[in-house]
Structure 1
Amino acid sequence: MISWRKHYKKGLIAISLLLSTGASVYAQGDPKKGQELFKANCTACHALDKKVVGPALGGVVEKVKKDGQDVDWLHKWISNNEKLRASGDAYANKIYEENGKVAMQVFEGKLSDQDIDDILEYTTNPPKEEPVADDKAESADVNSTAAIEAQKAQQLNSKIVVAALIAIAGLLLWLLLKIRQLVKLQQTPELSELNSTRLTSFSELYEKYSYVGKGLVGLLAVFALYGVWNWLMWVGVYKGYAPEQPIYFSHKIHAGENKIDCQLCHSGAKYGKVSEIPSLNVCMNCHRSISEYKGKYIEPGKDRDFYTGEIKKIYAHVGWDEDKQAYTGKTEPVEWTRIHNMPDFVYFNHSQHVVAGEQAIINGFNAKQKDAANKIDVVCKACHGKIDTMNVVQMANNFTMGWCIDCHRTTEVDMNNGYNKEYFKNLHDKLKKQYGEGSKITVDAIGGLECGKCHY
């Protein structure tokens, strides 16, 4: 006789085990926490909807289950894939081979079991993104007041232009009438007699006051020479120069919004003579996995598609195939327009200013600022301006010889700096005797005005 009670108990046990297994996959994970963990640990190599360095992870739990594995296997793989492959796990080695033998980072000790559950829940049920308004409409709303004001100003300018054109037309008409009258007068004998009298009077007047005329001519010559001299002094000065670049790059997004350190891209700025223009390989360190712009900041008049299009330009120049996640070997150099470029006869060393003079330059610059908002926190800003607020980089200062000398005369040397403390030890004592104890020692006192320091 069949014992239904016995089979009933077995069925309940099986159902409870099935439910508990399902709960461990879905109920225990928090997709919002998983999203944060995914962004912090996984986005460099993975996306939910496409292959980056590693495979797309959207629905990875179901994919693994279809291949005969379970959540426990995923925990082992995420925690320490190297250990799992070394154990001879066939599926682990298959995944490794399929993805170009690129080893995944080991997260053992970094991610707890709960963290992994949260990440898996995010890949299975990602939280819905909040609806984002159309970028162009958003920009229009933010700047609606400015747009209205600009329209009013444009209308006013149009009225002024029309009024000016009417006035010029009236003046031209008046001049034509006067010319017509002069032509008529020229035909009369009275005009010839009057002209001869006027010529005589003018010659007598010139002879009487000739010294005044000569003085005025001399004064005009002085002003003309000053104008030529002033013009010559500003040759090669391009303050405000902001050329259009072949690939649009916003320092405000990178350095301002994302807080990327200057030296991550300009690696030569601190320890090299020149700052260097970063190669596109530096860009690809991040943009190999960041193929779309999803940031919150959008410059007025632009949208996210615009920024994404500029990222695609990088791919085109370096020969990056997004679908295959590999370089094609077809490259094209970018013809950047250089903004800061010293003449050949000028010697400037970035490392000397950034390493030895970093704190001194920051302190000296901030001491001149009356408004706290103009003070700087990074030495780069003293010369290049607040780069982290610029969408388009421009030359922020004159970079003339006078500008440099003024800085050398007002910037106090940081004698607490290890380099200066040792190098100028004896000189420091000499300067103390010369200037007196407690006096400020500026850069000009240690050779900052010597011609050979800056010129070959």
Structure 2
Amino acid sequence: MNKITKKVKRNVFHRVAFLCLLVLFTNSFSFAQEESDSNNVSLEASASAEDVATVDGEDLVMKGEKLFKANCAACHSIGDNKVVGPGLKGISDRREREWLGKWIINSADLIASGDADANAIFEEYNKVPMPPQPVSEDDIDAILAYIKTPPVKQDVVADVSTEEVVVEEDSSVSLIVFGSVALILLVLLVILNKSRVSIARLAAEKEGVSFDGPVSLMEAFRFTLRNNKGLVAAIVIVLFFTSLVKLMDGAFTIGVHTGYKPEQPIKFSHKIHAGDDKIDCNYCHSSARHSKTSGIPSLNVCMNCHKYIDGSHGKTFSYNGEEYSMEEEIKKIYKALDYDTETQTYGDNPTPVKWIKVHNLPDHVFFSHQQHVTVGNQKCQTCHGPVEEMDVVEQSSPLTMKWCIECHGETGVATKGNGYYDEMHSRMTEEYKDKWLGDDKLTVEEIGGWECAKCHY
């Protein structure tokens, strides 16, 4: 065997060993990524299940978690980081319980009383008092207990209909599979390396020279790296840019909650109301036509119909795959309004319904429902999807800046029969009429809808 043949065989074995190590590294990276994704999904599922579970019979911390998410999480974290208001970690140690109760229930009254701490916080946070919270003293105790000792998340999913807990498949099974594959690859590498050394030594003996090549697996790996710098550089570059792309893709999903559909405290089916009964969205969300927000309908709007429709016919309806009694859900409206069905009178002890917000935009984004519904004459479904087909309303669109810009560039404004645009068209020069209206379509982009200050003033 000549020296060229010897060198070729040696390099072949080195490269095989190197590629096997690369496969092992890649599998390790992929497995770690999958485990991370699995854990994230598990935590999200657990959190989602806890949001909709009932509090009856649960301990104080679990009750506090639900109350915190419903009332506090939009402005506060349970850690040290500031959101809108300060982080609440250690708040029970820094403030007395009586003071916290007064601040949570009505901070404005506490500030007006001249309390030094309350006024210091008021000054620190731009002289904006915290809105009064519709919680009882027991609720406050539960919230403070949750902040002090938040529960450790478990990989479980709660069935909201039966409140049973279903344990997810143990991730140790995946760990065993991965360990087995890694062990097999390692054994193959050892066998390949021993075969390489044996063949190289035989070849050296036949040629009457001593074998001076790498013997151990690590020596072979280092030898391959030294003698294949171009290949190593290419692999490093590929891995770097692959990781960078994954990182950027992950960053683009921050704050995007497409598919989010929390169960509401009163099971309200949009499919029945907007779909089967064909009630106009603007009947309940009346402020959408003249305000930035669509508004949460007051229960008095519900009573326009449900004062007479009490669900006593015994019908059920589907909500998130489960069947619910119409009568029982309507009774929740009566209870919240302290309404007596016998005398048809309202009592003096109404309680607010803690609806869960589905669609959220960042605070630095300006969005007006009036501008879209009245001025643009757009249907609710343009942004919210086929609400009339949803039992549980979910976020249908990503609501990202990219999504909005694409919509502004493609969607035509409904100008026909819309008096808002009469004056604009009467003042428009012929040049721009041909440019903008020549295709019988006027987009938001063409009337300045891509200017930064339109949404970020």
TM-score (norm 1): 0.51
Tell me the alpha carbon deviations over residues 14-42 of structure 1, each in whole angstroms, 9 at most, x when there is no partner: xxxxxxxxxxxxxxxxxxxxxxxxxxxxx
Q: Secondary structure at the match of 1:299?
A: strand
- Contact 1:414–1:420 under 8 Å retained in 2: no
Shift of 1:171: 9.0
Compared CA separation, residues 381 and 428, structure 1 to 2 (3 A): farther
Q: Which has the higher helix share?
A: 1
The residue number in structure 2 matching 1:403 is 403
SS at match of 2:258: coil
Shift in alpha-carbon separation, 1:346–1:217, aligned structure 2, 3 A: same
Contiguous gaps of at least 5 residues in structure 1? 1-160, 362-378
1:420 to 2:421 alignment: yes
Q: Displacement of 1:234 after TM fit?
A: 1.5
Q: Does residue 255 in structure 1 map to residue 255 in structure 2?
A: no
Q: Distance in 2 between matches of 1:269 and 1:334?
A: 21
TM-fit CA distance, 1:238: 1.0
- What is residue 337 of structure 1 aligned with on the other side? 356
Select between 323-332 and 228-237 the one with higher mean Cα deviation: 323-332
Counterpart amino acid of 2:236?
V
1:439, CA displacement in angstroms?
Answer: 6.3
Structure 1 residue corresponding to 2:317, chosen from 283, 294, 298: 298
Give the unaligned 5+ runs of structure 2. 1-168, 199-211
Give the corresponding residue for 1:385.
385
Pairing 1:53-202 to 2, within 5 Å after superposition: 196-202=215-221
- Report the CA distance between 1:392 and its aligned residue: 0.5
Residue 222 of structure 1 aligns to a residue whose secondary structure is helix
Do 1:413 and 1:442's aligned partners in 2 also have CA atoms closer than 8 Å? yes
Matched to 1:228, the amino acid is L
Q: Which residue number corresponds to residue 348 of structure 1?
A: 367
Name the amino acid aligned to 1:338: K
Q: Is the 2:287–2:294 contact (alpha carbons within 8 Å) kept by the matching residues of 1? A: yes
Report the counterpart of residue 150 of structure 1 in structure 2.
Answer: none
TM-score (norm 2): 0.51
Report the CA distance between 1:311 and its aligned residue: 0.8
- Residues 303-323 of structure 1 show CA distances to partners (whole Å, capped at 9, x for unaligned) of 56x221111111111111223
Verify the 8 A CA contact 2:314 2:326 in the aligned structure 1: no
Amino acid at match of 1:245: Q
Cα offset for 1:276? Answer: 0.3
Cα distance per residue 1:93-128 (max 9 Å; x no partner): xxxxxxxxxxxxxxxxxxxxxxxxxxxxxxxxxxxx
Deviations 1:270-319 (A, max 9, x none): 22221101111111222122222538773286556x22111111111111
Letter in 1 for 2:269: S
Task: Go from structure 1 to structure 2 and tell me whether the alpha carbon gap of 1:309 and 1:226 turns closer, same or farther (over 3 Å shift).
Answer: same
Give the alignment partner of residue 333 of structure 2, picking from 299, 310, 314: 314
Identity %: 40
CA separation of 1:198/1:230 partners in 2, compared to 1, >3 Å: closer, same or farther?
A: closer
Which residue matches 1:450? 451
**Residue 217 of structure 1, CA deviation:** 1.3
Q: Which has the larger radius of gyration?
A: 1
Match of 2:247 among 213, 228, 236: 228
Instruction: Determine if contact 2:376/2:415 at 8 Å carries over to the other structure.
Output: no
Contact between 1:253 and 1:297, CA under 8 Å: does it hold in 2?
Answer: no
SS in 1 for 2:318: coil
Cα-to-partner distance string for 1:229-261 (whole Å, 9 max, x where unaligned): 111112111111101111110011111111211
After TM superposition, the structure 1 stretch with the greater mean CA deviation from structure 2, 209-218 or 444-453, is 209-218
1:173: Cα distance to partner?
11
Deviation readout 1:144-167 (Å, 9 max, x if unpaired)? xxxxxxxxxxxxxxxxx9xxx89x
Q: CA 1:303 to 1:202, structure 2 compared with 1: closer, same or farther past 3 Å?
A: closer
SS for the counterpart of 2:274 is: helix
C-alpha offsets along residues 382-411 of structure 1, whole Å, 9 cap, x if unaligned? Answer: 111111111110111111111111111112
Q: Give the conservation status (yes or no) of the 8 Å contact 1:272–1:349.
A: yes
Contact 2:291 2:370 in 1 (8 A): yes
- Establish whether residue 246 from structure 1 lines up as the match of residue 265 from structure 2: yes
For 1:391 and 1:335, locate their aligned partners in 2 and report how far apart those are by CA, in whole Å: 19
Q: Residue 314 of structure 2 contacts residue 327 of structure 2 at CA under 8 Å; is this kept in 1?
A: no
Tell me what 2:223 maps to. Answer: 204
Equivalent residue in structure 2 for 1:264, among 283, 292, 297? 283
Please tell me the residue identity of whatever aligns with 2:260. Answer: Y
Structure 1 residues 262 and 294, CA gap change in structure 2 (3 angstroms): farther
Distance in structure 2 (CA, Å) of the matches to 1:257 and 1:315: 23
Retained in 2: the 8 A contact 1:340–1:395?
A: yes
Query: SS at the partner of 1:298?
Result: strand
Contact 2:214 2:220 in 1 (8 A): no
Indicate the larger mover: 410-419 or 268-277.
Answer: 410-419
Task: Check the 8 A contact 2:436/2:446 in 1, yes or no.
Answer: no
Deviation at 1:428, TM superposition (A): 5.5
Pick aligned residue for 2:296 from 263, 277, 284? 277
1:438 & 1:202 partners in 2: Cα distance? Answer: 65
Contact 2:214 2:223 in 1 (8 A): no
Tell me the secondary structure at the aligned position of residue 240 of structure 1: coil
| Pick aligned residue for 2:306 from 284, 287, 299 | 287
Structure 1 partner of 2:433 = 432
Change beyond 3 A, Cα 1:421–1:303 = same
Residue aligning to 1:364 = none
**Compared with structure 1, are the counterparts of its residues 263 and 440 closer, same or farther at alpha carbon in structure 2 (3 Å cutoff)?**
closer
Deviation at 1:427, TM superposition (A): 3.4
**Is residue 387–residue 393 contact of structure 1 (8 Å, CA) maintained in 2?**
yes
Secondary structure of 1:227's counterpart equals helix
The answer to whether the 8 Å contact 1:251/1:391 transfers is yes
Structure 2 CA distance, aligned partners of 1:451 and 1:170?
49
For 1:317 and 1:436, locate their aligned partners in 2 and report how far apart those are by CA, in whole Å: 52
Q: Structure 1 451/170 Cα, relative in aligned 2: closer, same or farther at 3 Å?
A: closer
The two structures, once aligned, show a CA RMSD in angstroms of 3.9
How many residues are matched? 268
One-letter identity of the residue aligned with 2:410: T
| In structure 2, distance between residues paired with 1:391 and 1:284 | 20
Give the 3-state SS of the residue equivalent to 1:211 in structure 2: helix
Q: How many angstroms does 1:337 deviate by? A: 0.7
Contact 2:265-2:354 within 8 A present in 1 as well? yes
